[in-house]
Amino acid sequence: MSKFKFFHALLIFSLIVSFILPSAAGAESNGADAATTESTPAGQEALTVIKDTYSPTGDTYDPTGDTYCDYADPTCDTYEQPVEAIQVEYTSATESSITVEFVYNGELTEDLAFEFYLNGELYDTVYETYDYNFYTFFGLESDTEYAIEIMALKGGEYTDEYAWAYEYTHSEPYGDVVQFEDSRLEEAVKTTLDVYHRAIQESDMQRLYSLEAYGYGIESLEGLQSAYNLEYLDLSGNMITDISPIADLEYISHLDLSYNGDIMNLESLLSMQYLTSFYYYDVYYGPGSTNKQTIQALIDKEVEVGVNPRGWYFEEYYGKWLYFTHDRGAYVSGWLKDNNKWYYLSEDPYEGMSTGWDYIGGKWYFFNQVGAMLEGPAWVKLGGKWYYAEKSGAMKTGWYKEGSTWYFFDKVSTAMKTGWHKDGNTWYHFKSTGAMSTGWYQEGSTWYYLNTSGAMATGWKEVGGKWYYFYTSGKMAANTTIDGYKLGASGAWIK
């Protein structure tokens, strides 16, 4: 006899014994057993504690004592159903295959294997095992019920760990092939129906009662209109802008359109007579949309509605503007472009939208009183000082050339420099306009000379065919003798 058939015989024998022995014991017992029965809740038989084994008459398990015990037993303070070593979580079928998903709660060892039986016959043995497992039986007859058994082996020996399941294969598909405009929608439907090896046909769509297509990137719903029996539909997290293909799916009771594109018209929802719950976080209420009126009409029909219009929200307690969109109403932080304007929102919702100066990513930006970033390229005067905003909006620092004129912006404050400024080891001078000075420059009674590079001259310098001397401070020497050379009132060397 095979090991599989032996387990079957043993299981049947134990079930027969469990039904016969309790009734026989009850017929022979009067006094002591009657007293025990009186001490238990009405209608519940007393249960003898059995160590390290399963009791067919028991209904609770005490893991602290590794025993099954009676609800009336005061020594049992933990009442939990025993966990099966192999638990079948889900089965699904096509016309020629069955997939079973199961959890293994036993100890994962290197010598663990699973045997899969189909209608009592060994189908396959799998040696690569996990705590959560998938297995598919292929090449099956259509429209047929199958008995599935999973048995665990360790070291090639059978254990007492097994599980049963039953599943019907579907009938052969019929009808036209469904034409999906968006392959991502087709992928979601195939995944739900477990149909991967062929095209989806009309009969397949008739058994599509629930579809969870969150985050597939779907743009078009074309093809879904043939899912006449669809009741549960989650299309959140896609790029849908038109829901007309599902307008006639009147049996839909739950619909989630959250975080899609700008769906301008939701009026077709009003024809879904069985609709009981509708969610559209980040709903579009903008120009040309009738969504606000439709949402109110759904509420009037007592549909459970969950919406969160996208856009700005003023938090009155902190006096800050916040922005909510995408990912089910989550607070948006960082850069945000809205209506062709850039905004910045702090990671801390209590700080909200930036206004005025903000130091972001190592650069300074300026945001006006309504939070819009000052965009460039543009000159801007703020607080009596001039700045230059680059195209990115970041304030310029360091050297900047416009036409033939050089400017310098402070590397810390980003304000345009005027007057004297030392960059590295070199001094430069900038006019009141910010333009870098070159050539002769007089400050009071003192003369300086700025080279064509803008660098302040020091030491001997020939200008216009004449020699001059400039101290380390840049001041021109005059009416004195330097290195044996006499300099006149003009500062030029007198030959």
Give strand pairing partners of 456: 450
Maximum pairwise Cα distance, the chain: 144
> Which tens digits make up the pLDDT trace of 390-401?
999 999 999 999
Between 379 and 289, whose confidence is greater? Answer: 379
User: What is the pLDDT averaged over residues 286-315?
Assistant: 80
The 3-state DSSP class for residue 400 equals: strand
* pLDDT exceeds cutoff 90 at 205: yes
The separation between CA 52 and the C-alpha centre of its own chain, rounded to angstroms, equals 46
Percent of the chain with pLDDT over 70: 79
pLDDT category of residue 309 using cuts at 50, 70 and 90: low
C-alpha 73: how far from chain center? 49
Rounded to an integer, the average pLDDT of 158-177 is 95
Region of poorest pLDDT, from 200-204, 306-310, 344-348:
306-310
In the three-class reduction of DSSP (H, G, I as helix; E, B as strand; rest coil), residue 229 is classed as coil
Distance separating alpha carbons of residues 395 and 409, to the nearest angstrom: 9
Tell which wins on pLDDT, 329 or 194. 194
With CA atoms as reference, report the closest residue to 460 among 494, 425, 493, 419: 493
- Most confident range (mean pLDDT) of 15-19, 38-42, 54-58, 249-253 is 249-253
Peptide bond into 377 cis (omega under 30): yes
Confidence check: pLDDT of 262 > 60: yes
Find how far residue 404's CA is from the centre of its chain: 50
User: First-to-last CA distance in the chain?
Assistant: 128
The reported pLDDT for the residue numbered 5 is 44
For residues 37 and 103, which has the higher predicted lDDT (pLDDT)?
103
Q: How far is CA 400 from CA 361, 397, 429, in A?
A: 21, 8, 14
pLDDT, average across residues 256-276: 90
* d(C-alpha 108, C-alpha 457), whole Å: 82
The β-bridge partners of 154 are 112, 157
pLDDT in tens, 408-440: 999 999 999 999 999 999 999 999 999 999 999
Compute the radius of gyration of the chain from its Cα atoms.
41
Q: Are 261 and 182 in contact (CB under 8 A)?
A: no
Q: What is the mean pLDDT of the chain?
A: 83
pLDDT score recorded for residue 330: 60
Mean pLDDT on 303-331: 69
Of the pLDDT bands very low, low, confident and very high (cuts 50, 70, 90), residue 314 is low
Residue 324: pLDDT band with limits 50, 70, 90: low
Q: Among residues 168, 150, 173, 151, which one has the least CA distance to residue 160?
A: 151
pLDDT, tens digit, for every residue of 348-384? Answer: 877 889 999 999 999 999 999 889 999 999 999 999 9
Total residue length of the chain: 495
Binning pLDDT at 50, 70 and 90, where does residue 96 land? very high
pLDDT, residue 244, reads 94
